[in-house]
């Protein structure tokens, strides 16, 4: 007999013989006690039925309202995107109230141009909330192709992020020699605005160097480094062109659209491990990308051999958002 069984057979005293007499005497004397309400099951079932009905009607009404609102928002968003008013100051919340922040490590000056080889990499977003994993329909496809621009050898880096309702296009032409941006078409829904960089001092893949006397960039401390930012900042090709090694660290100052204050991101190699994703199993560097403004971090795994982004993980309050490599395709070099 377990002690739980013992618990159920635990003896309890019997009521005194006087109790029934007391009860009847109280009743006879006109004593009345209002007992707390305990609904019978009939009432409970009726209540459940009524409640279910109310919930159903409410759900239908709410769902309809949300659909109407979403379609309105989508229309407004499409209009907003069609105008493409993206300005880095707004994008990075560089409003006057923001704190001045700088990178925590030495600024990265050089990237390795030869590490960018033609090919195609497809990533899929996964969302894990409360331990439930959801494969979303959102993908990001990065395609690198050899091309020429003004008769100079160049690379076309095209990033397409797509969900059921949205397709974002971002095409960047960089010099094959030093990876400096030459032209960018960014970043609307099926349409893009052109940005020219010929007369601007923008370093390889938008890396810039803090000028002498640079006091920092005003960044909203509430912002987070997200998977979307990695795509917008073209960080995937940047990361695969970094001179990574154990305990490597450096700060990136990014000017993705032009002569605005550079946006600082700290990058640090924090370890290496094996990652298995739909595209295969890879021995990886584990990098931490951190916003100096608030130390919010993003983890990125990069394959140690060909140095490609394999997985990106963003921790959120009740779970995580990931982008994982699901397919890769090498393009034969142009003869």
Partner 1 sequence: MSVGAAKGGSGASINGIDAIRAGSPEALAALYREYGSALHRLAYRLTGTREDAEDVVHDVFVGLPEALGRYEEWGSFAGWLKRVTARVALMRLRTRTRRREVALDATLATADRPAAVEHVTLQTAIDELPDRLRCVLVLKEVEGYSHAEVGELLGISAGASRVRLNRAMRLLRKRMEDGR
Binding stretches for partner 1 (CB under 8 A) = 1, 3-4, 6-8, 10-16, 19-20, 22-24, 26-28, 31-43
CB of 44 to partner 1, least distance (A): 9
CB of 46 to partner 1, least distance (A): 9
**CB of residue 30 to partner 1, shortest distance in Å:** 10
Look up tokens 């009939």; give the residue.
42
Cα separation, 87 vs 93, in Å, equals 10
| Closest distance of CB 28 from partner 1, Å | 7
- Contacts of residue 141, defined as CB under 8 A and 6 or more positions apart, other chains included, come to 120, 121, 122, 123, 158, 159, 160, 161, 162
Nearest approach, Cβ of residue 85 and partner 1 (Å): 47
The distance of closest approach from Cβ of residue 6 to partner 1 in the complex, given in angstroms and rounded to an integer, is 6
What are φ and ψ of residue 107, in 5° steps?
-65, 135
Looking at the Cβ atoms of 32 and 247, the one nearer to partner 1 is 32
- Nearer residue to partner 1 within complex by CB, 16 or 114: 16
Residue 40 or residue 334: which is nearer to partner 1 going by CB? 40
Instruction: Enumerate residues 6+ apart whose C-beta is below 8 A from 210.
Output: 102, 103, 107, 253, 262
Do residues 139 and 123 make contact, with C-beta atoms less than 8 angstroms apart?
A: yes
Is the Cβ of residue 47 or residue 80 nearer to partner 1 in the bound state? 47
> Which residues 6+ apart lie within 8 Å of 152 measured at CB?
175, 176, 177
**Nearest residue (CB) to partner 1, 45 versus 70:** 45
The residue count for the chain: 335
Question: Is the CB of 23 or the CB of 82 nearer to partner 1?
Answer: 23
CA-to-CA dists, residue 246 to 18, 51, 138, 167, angstroms: 84, 60, 33, 37
């Amino acid at each position: 007999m377990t002690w739980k069984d013992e618990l159920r057979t635990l003896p309890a005293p019997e009521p005194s013989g006087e109790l029934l007499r007391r009860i009847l005497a109280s009743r006879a004397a006109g004593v009345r006690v209002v007992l707390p309400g305990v609904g019978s099951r009939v009432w409970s079932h009726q209540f459940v039925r009524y409640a279910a009905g109310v919930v159903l009607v409410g759900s239908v009404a709410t769902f309809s309202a949300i659909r109407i609102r979403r379609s309105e928002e989508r229309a407004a968003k499409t209009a907003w995107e069609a105008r493409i008013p993206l300005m880095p100051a707004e994008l990075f919340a560089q409003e006057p109230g923001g704190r001045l922040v700088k990178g925590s490590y030495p600024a990265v000056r050089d990237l390795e141009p030869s590490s960018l080889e033609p090919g195609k990499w497809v990533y899929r977003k996964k969302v894990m909330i409360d331990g439930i994993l959801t494969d979303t329909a959102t993908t990001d496809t990065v395609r690198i192709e050899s091309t020429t621009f003004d008769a100079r050898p160049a690379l076309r880096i095209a990033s397409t992020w797509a969900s059921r309702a949205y397709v974002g296009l971002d095409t960047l032409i960089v010099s094959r020699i030093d990876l400096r941006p030459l032209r960018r078409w960014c970043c609307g829904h099926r349409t893009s605005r052109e940005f020219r960089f010929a007369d601007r001092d923008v370093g390889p893949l938008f890396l810039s160097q803090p000028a002498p006397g640079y006091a920092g960039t005003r960044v909203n401390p509430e912002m987070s480094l997200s998977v979307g930012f990695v795509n917008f900042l073209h960080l995937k090709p940047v990361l695969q062109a970094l001179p990574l090694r154990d305990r490597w660290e450096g700060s990136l100052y990014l000017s993705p659209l032009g002569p605005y204050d550079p946006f600082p991101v700290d990058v640090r190699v924090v370890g290496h491990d094996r990652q298995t994703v739909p595209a295969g199993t890879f021995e990886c560097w584990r990098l931490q990308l951190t916003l100096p403004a608030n130390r919010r971090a993003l983890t990125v795994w990069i394959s140690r051999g060909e140095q490609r982004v394999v997985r990106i993980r963003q921790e959120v309050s009740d779970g995580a958002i990931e982008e994982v490599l699901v397919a890769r395709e090498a393009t034969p070099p142009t003869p």
